[in-house]
């Protein structure tokens, strides 16, 4: 099959969170299964800075957005042997961040990603490349299924191309004022309740849910949750309309990239059979971050976007207890201003058992996974979560809230259904988190059984193998719908 991945971030080129891990890893697995896979993303400043052997292409497109024709140039490179195309436009993509700053989104995001989506489809024609499947991710690419269904329904060039739309996070919907329709080149007739209109605004995610051939999200539990009013973010009714085409496919992690046996960014390599090197990583992390070098004190790590989703308000409530407890807490994160301030307040407390690290630091993250005994993810909701899977692979035992993909990957002894590999709690309250964390800390004191739990986590399979097969099935289903 010919599969084109279209995404607003892809590892290693540009990353703000797990989306990039997925779009950088799943194509490699599909390629190994024998498919012709290609990837396309915007050519941001940070991609340009990275180099990546990117060359200028000869193709260009002129896209009508924001009332005038905007020129897009195509660049290209490869990710291993997968062709990667990058759409360049300085006005839209030469900026310091991908989507906005700590104080808010860029106001012209609708134009930026309308330009991207239209540019991608125009390029396909210029290249005379007809994918069987266009696999789109999140609202930034939502216009692709919408355009194919509503504008290009009669276009023979695309008549055999089907779309899969993956929702990585239902909270990001691409909401814009009605007036933006014109800017994005969308016909006003699409602003209706059965298409883009959502409480008086444009909702791009809704448009994709209604028009993609198949829709999926990134874990089975989250897939069930989003069909309820509590977790549906206003779109549960719309999702219910597509219930027969909606699937949950658990993410994997890139086992070549996230591998404590070969990771060059950690201070000593280790394996489930010989995990002794992990203690060395803990010591190195403690030294690097100025924490007391103490083998027996449980070190709790957290690597996270700083948003409403991730449970920092629970942590805030527990801070006085954490500061006094016999544990060390290492935080790495960046994101919303509100939570940046909160982390700065944590740092200002001056307690010597908490290390606050603000910023996006891909070189520090693996050191935290490798150096932590416990990995914390107390999310309010979590579509899948990769942090806990990476932590498991690096022998950091996860403590998580039992929601979404966290419920599908972390098993508490209380579940009794699976062999335990971590600790979880149900209620979104500081008390429930503290209770689970305390159980983990107590368990850590029993070295022999802790080691067993750690090894069991490391031996679990969170690679892409099984999930890539599931995507393959979804693609076949789309082709069947297209009569192929």
Q: Give residues 388-417 in contact with ligand GLC (rule: CB under 6 A).
A: 405
Question: Is 304 an interacting residue with respect to ligand ADP (CB under 6 A)?
Answer: yes
- Alpha helices, DSSP H only, in 170-268? 180-183, 204-211, 220-225, 236-241
Partner residues linked to 198 by β-bridges: 201
Give whichever of 74 and 165 is closer to ligand ADP, judged by the CB atom.
165
- Alpha helices, DSSP H only, in 33-108? 45-50, 90-93
* The entry of ligand GLC, ligand ADP, none that residue 218 binds, CB within 5 to 8 Å by partner kind: ligand GLC
Residue 41 near residue 14, CB atoms below 8 Å = yes
Residue 139 near residue 129, CB atoms below 8 Å = no
Residue 369 near residue 305, CB atoms below 8 Å = no
* The entry of ligand ADP, ligand GLC, none that residue 361 binds, CB within 5 to 8 Å by partner kind: ligand ADP
Give whichever of 121 and 392 is closer to ligand ADP, judged by the CB atom.
392
Total chain residues near ligand GLC (CB under 6 A): 14
Contact range with ligand ADP by CB under 6 A, out of 17-25, 79-87, 111-119, 231-239: 17-25
- The phi and psi torsions of 320 (rounded to 5 degrees) equal -55, -40
Which of 385, 404, 422, 457 contacts ligand ADP by CB under 6 A? Answer: 385
Shortest Å, Cβ 372 to ligand ADP: 12
- Cα distance between residue 246 and residue 234, in whole Å: 17
* The entry of ligand ADP, ligand GLC, none that residue 395 binds, CB within 5 to 8 Å by partner kind: none
Shortest Å, Cβ 287 to ligand GLC: 31
Q: Give residues 323-342 in contact with ligand ADP (rule: CB under 6 A).
A: 332-334
Q: Are strands 100-101 and 82-88 parallel, antiparallel or unpaired?
A: unpaired
Question: Is 440 an interacting residue with respect to ligand GLC (CB under 6 A)?
Answer: no
CA nearest 12: which of 41, 35, 37?
A: 41
Burial class (CB within 10 angstroms; exposed 0-12, middle 13-18, buried 19+) of 295: exposed
Which of 66, 131, 385, 422 contacts ligand GLC by CB under 6 A? Answer: 385
Which of 305, 439, 456, 482 contacts ligand ADP by CB under 6 A? Answer: 305
Give whichever of 386 and 410 is closer to ligand GLC, judged by the CB atom.
386
Nearest residue relative to ligand ADP (C-beta) = 18
- Cα distance between residue 251 and residue 467, in whole Å: 7
Which of 303, 325, 329, 400 contacts ligand ADP by CB under 6 A? Answer: 303
Q: Give residues 15-54 in contact with ligand GLC (rule: CB under 6 A).
A: 17-19, 22
Shortest Å, Cβ 251 to ligand GLC: 5
CA distances from 99 to 145, 196, 441 (A): 21, 21, 38
Give whichever of 19 and 63 is closer to ligand GLC, judged by the CB atom.
19
Which of 9, 21, 138, 245 contacts ligand ADP by CB under 6 A? Answer: 21
Give whichever of 54 and 332 is closer to ligand GLC, judged by the CB atom.
332
Which of 140, 163, 169, 372 contacts ligand GLC by CB under 6 A? Answer: 169
* The entry of ligand GLC, ligand ADP, none that residue 45 binds, CB within 5 to 8 Å by partner kind: none
Q: Using DSSP, state whether 312 is helix, strand or coil.
A: helix
Q: Give residues 355-374 in contact with ligand ADP (rule: CB under 6 A).
A: 360-362, 365
Contact range with ligand GLC by CB under 6 A, out of 113-121, 127-135, 322-330, 384-392: 384-392
- Cα distance between residue 476 and residue 455, in whole Å: 37
Q: Which H or E run includes 409?
A: helix 404-409
Residue 406 near residue 220, CB atoms below 8 Å = no
Give whichever of 18 and 457 is closer to ligand GLC, judged by the CB atom.
18
Shortest Å, Cβ 217 to ligand ADP: 12
* The entry of ligand GLC, ligand ADP, none that residue 109 binds, CB within 5 to 8 Å by partner kind: none
For residue 12, whether the previous peptide bond is cis, meaning omega lies within 30 degrees of 0, is: yes
CA distances from 465 to 72, 115, 436 (A): 36, 34, 31
Phi/psi zone of residue 11: left (φ > 0), alpha (ψ -120 to 50 degrees), beta?
beta
- The phi and psi torsions of 426 (rounded to 5 degrees) equal -95, -55
* Lookup: tokens for 163: 């779309």
**What strands, in cross-sheet order, belong to the sheet with 133-137?**
55-65, 68-79, 82-88, 36-42, 2-6, 133-137, 162-167, 214-217, 246-248
Which of 110, 149, 168, 402 contacts ligand GLC by CB under 6 A? Answer: 168
Question: Is 218 an interacting residue with respect to ligand GLC (CB under 6 A)?
Answer: yes
Contact range with ligand GLC by CB under 6 A, out of 24-32, 376-384, 420-428, 440-448: 376-384
- Cα distance between residue 56 and residue 183, in whole Å: 28
Q: Give residues 271-290 in contact with ligand GLC (rule: CB under 6 A).
A: none
Shortest Å, Cβ 358 to ligand ADP: 8
**Could you list the residues that contact ligand GLC (CB under 6 A)?**
17-19, 22, 168-169, 218, 251, 382-386, 405
**Could you list the residues that contact ligand ADP (CB under 6 A)?**
17-19, 21, 303-305, 332-334, 360-362, 365, 384-387
């Amino acid at each position: 099959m010919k599969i084109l991945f279209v995404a607003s971030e892809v590892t290693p080129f540009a990353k703000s969170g797990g989306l990039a891990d997925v779009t950088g890893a799943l194509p490699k697995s599909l390629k190994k299964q024998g498919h012709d896979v290609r990837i396309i993303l915007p050519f941001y400043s940070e991609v340009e800075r990275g180099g990546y052997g990117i060359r200028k292409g000869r193709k260009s497109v002129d896209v009508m957005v924001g009332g005038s024709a905007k020129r897009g140039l195509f660049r290209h490179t490869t990710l291993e042997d997968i062709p990667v195309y990058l759409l360049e436009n300085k006005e839209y993509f030469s900026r310091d961040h991908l989507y906005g700053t700590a104080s808010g989104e860029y106001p012209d995001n609708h134009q930026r990603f309308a330009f991207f989506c239209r540019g991608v489809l125009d390029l396909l024609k210029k290249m005379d490349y007809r994918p069987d499947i266009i696999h789109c991710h999140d609202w930034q690419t939502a216009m692709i299924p919408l355009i194919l269904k509503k504008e290009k329904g009669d276009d023979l060039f695309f008549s055999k191309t089907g779309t899969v739309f993956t929702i990585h996070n239902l909270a990001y919907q691409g909401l814009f004022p009605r007036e933006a329709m014109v800017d994005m080149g969308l016909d006003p007739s699409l602003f209706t309740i059965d298409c883009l209109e959502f409480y008086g605004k444009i909702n791009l995610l809704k448009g994709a849910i209604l028009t993609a051939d198949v829709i999926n999200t990134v874990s089975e539990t989250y897939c069930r949750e989003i069909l309820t009013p509590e977790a549906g973010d206003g779109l549960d009714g719309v999702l219910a309309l597509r219930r027969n085409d909606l699937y949950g496919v658990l993410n994997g992690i890139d086992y070549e990239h996230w591998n404590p046996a070969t990771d060059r960014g950690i201070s000593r390599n280790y394996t489930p059979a010989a995990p002794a090197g992990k203690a060395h990583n803990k010591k190195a992390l403690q030294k690097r971050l100025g924490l007391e070098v103490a083998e027996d004190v449980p070190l709790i790590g957290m690597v996270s976007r700083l948003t409403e989703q991730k449970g920092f308000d629970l942590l805030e409530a527990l801070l006085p207890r954490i500061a006094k407890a016999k544990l060390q807490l290492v935080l790495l994160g960046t994101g919303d201003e509100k939570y940046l301030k909160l982390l700065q307040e944590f740092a200002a407390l001056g307690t010597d058992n908490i290390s606050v690290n603000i910023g996006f630091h891909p070189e520090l993250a693996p050191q935290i996974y490798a150096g932590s005994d416990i990995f914390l993810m107390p999310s309010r909701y979590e579509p899948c979560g990769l942090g806990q899977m990476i932590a498991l692979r690096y022998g950091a035992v996860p403590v998580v809230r039992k929601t979404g993909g966290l419920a599908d990957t972390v098993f508490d002894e209380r579940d009794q259904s699976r062999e335990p590999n971590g600790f979880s709690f149900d209620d979104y309250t500081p008390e429930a988190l503290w209770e689970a964390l305390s159980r983990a800390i107590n368990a850590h004191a029993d070295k022999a059984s802790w080691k067993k739990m750690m090894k069991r986590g490391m031996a679990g399979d969170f690679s892409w193998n099984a999930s890539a097969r599931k995507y393959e099935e979804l693609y076949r289903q789309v082709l069947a719908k297209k009569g192929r």
